[in-house]
Amino acid sequence: MQDLANIFIKSIFIDNMVFAYFLGMCSYLAISKTVKTSVGMGFAVIFVVSLTVPLNYIIVNFVLNEGALVWLHPDFHDVDLSFLSFIMFIAVIASMVQLVEMIIEKFSPSLYSSLGIFLPLIAVNCAILGASLFMKERAYNSIVEATVFGFGSGVGWFLAIVGIAAIREKIRYSHVPPALRGLGITFIITGLMGIAFMSFMGIKL
Partner 1 sequence: MSKETLFSKKNRLLLTDPLDDNNPVTVQVLGICSALAITVQLKPAVVMALSVLFVLSVANVLVSLLRSFIPSRIRIIVQLVVIATLVILVDEVLKAFVYDVSKELSVFVGLIITNCIIMGRLEAFALANTPWKSFLDGLGNAFGYGWILIAVAFFRELLGSGTLFGYPVLEKIGLYELGYENNGMMILPPMALVTVGVIIWIQRMRNEKLIESN
**Binding stretches for partner 1 (CB under 8 A):** 19-26, 29-30, 83-87, 89-91, 94, 120-121, 123-126, 128-130, 133-134, 137, 172, 176-188, 190-195, 198
Cα 141 off chain centre by: 20
Minimum distance from residue 172 beta carbon to partner 1 (Å): 7
Minimum distance from residue 133 beta carbon to partner 1 (Å): 4
Residue placing its CB nearer to partner 1 in the complex, 70 or 180: 180
**Burial (0-12, 13-18, 19+ Cβ within 10 Å), 152:** buried
Residue placing its CB nearer to partner 1 in the complex, 111 or 164: 164
Minimum distance from residue 124 beta carbon to partner 1 (Å): 4
Alpha-carbon distance of 105 to 143, in angstroms, equals 30
Alpha-carbon distance of 197 to 205, in angstroms, equals 17
Q: One-letter amino acid identity for 98?
A: Q
Residue placing its CB nearer to partner 1 in the complex, 5 or 138: 138
Per-residue buried b or exposed e for 77-88, using 16+ beta carbons within 10 Å of the residue's own CB: eebebeeebeeb
Collect all residues with Cβ–Cβ distance below 8 Å to 113 and sequence separation of at least 6: none
Minimum distance from residue 5 beta carbon to partner 1 (Å): 24
Minimum distance from residue 129 beta carbon to partner 1 (Å): 5
Residue placing its CB nearer to partner 1 in the complex, 125 or 147: 125
Residue placing its CB nearer to partner 1 in the complex, 66 or 70: 66
